[in-house]
Amino acid sequence: MCVTCGQRISTKSVKPEISKILGGELADIRDFPWQVSIFNKGKHHCGGSILSEWWILTASHCIINKNISDLEIIYGEDNLIRNVMKQKVDKLIIHSQFDRWILDNDIALLLLKSPLNVTVKKAPICLSEVTKIERWRNCWVTGWGITNTSMLTVVPVLQKVDLQLVEWNKCSRLVPMLTRNMLCAGNPESGNDACQGDSGGPLVCQKKENQSIWYQLGIVSWGVGCGLKNKPGVYTKVSNYLLWINRETKTAGKPYMHEPDSGFNFFLIPETYRFDFQKDLYSSPSFA
């Protein structure tokens, strides 16, 4: 089956009424076929997204210091209790400038031992170099993370929650230690948010001018608590790492090539933005 990135092959899921994931609801994997679970020692550890038949995109803090033999990718299933399909990992790529203290450059790639076949329940997500918030609509984050802050374990069924993108300047006044490699999303009225167990998963949106394609703008990274008023969740800004992704996948022998979607050559953009900031004010709690 041939399919381009960011497309739902089937959209016939039924919207459930059960409320989960801090203001969210149950999700159908057919609506988010790029979503995967990263298992560590047989249990859900973090989320991730299908970038191509060979590559999974996730957060560095999810896999740093992990044994590659303990990791498995669960795909094509929204219920982790079922007899799920598993895939072994062949290579871990953590960003060389990942900062564990403030979670800057919190991005990683997993190379699979064998390629995935695209189906109704597993398909790649698109990436974009477009960064202006006003260009985007209908943003969602998905995962198997906890659904209220009193829970001790993650949930077995995939959840989704709709969020609003937050301007960087506004978010930097609300959240400490924000760098230009991060973006923010939340819902100040409802408290919708990602939480523990959702780390590494995708924040996806549609362009206002093209509502048939989905793009991953962020990777669930960290936050100040979960669903707190005026405390948006913080995500790795994927558009800052398109060159890094191209370079690392090519070096590994399974190249992924981003197709520019903004009308100009993204290869002319600096890979990341560097800013000076104090590192001794706050800690940055991880969602993993």
Among the options 28, 106, 193, 198, which is catalytic? 106
Establish if 100 belongs to a structural domain: no
Domain count, the chain: 1
Establish if 105 belongs to a structural domain: no
SS3 251: helix
Among the options 37, 49, 52, 199, which is catalytic? 199
Based on the residue annotation, tell me whether 61 is a catalytic residue of this protein: yes
Establish if 133 belongs to a structural domain: yes
End-to-end CA distance of the chain: 34
In the predicted model, is pLDDT for residue 280 greater than 50? no
Establish if 172 belongs to a structural domain: yes
Based on the residue annotation, tell me whether 261 is a catalytic residue of this protein: no
Q: How far apart are CA 244 and CA 249, in angstroms?
A: 8
In the predicted model, is pLDDT for residue 251 greater than 60? yes
Establish if 29 belongs to a structural domain: no
In the predicted model, is pLDDT for residue 15 greater than 50? no
The whole domain housing 213 covers 126-239
Q: What is the CATH number of the domain that holds 168?
A: 2.40.10.10
Min mean pLDDT across 36-45, 100-109, 184-193, 216-225 is at: 184-193
Residue 118's pLDDT is 83
Among the options 44, 45, 61, 258, which is catalytic? 61
DSSP 173: H
Establish if 198 belongs to a structural domain: yes
Based on the residue annotation, tell me whether 99 is a catalytic residue of this protein: no
Residue 18's pLDDT is 28
Establish if 201 belongs to a structural domain: yes
Task: List 72's β-bridge partners, or say none.
Answer: 39, 88
Establish if 64 belongs to a structural domain: no
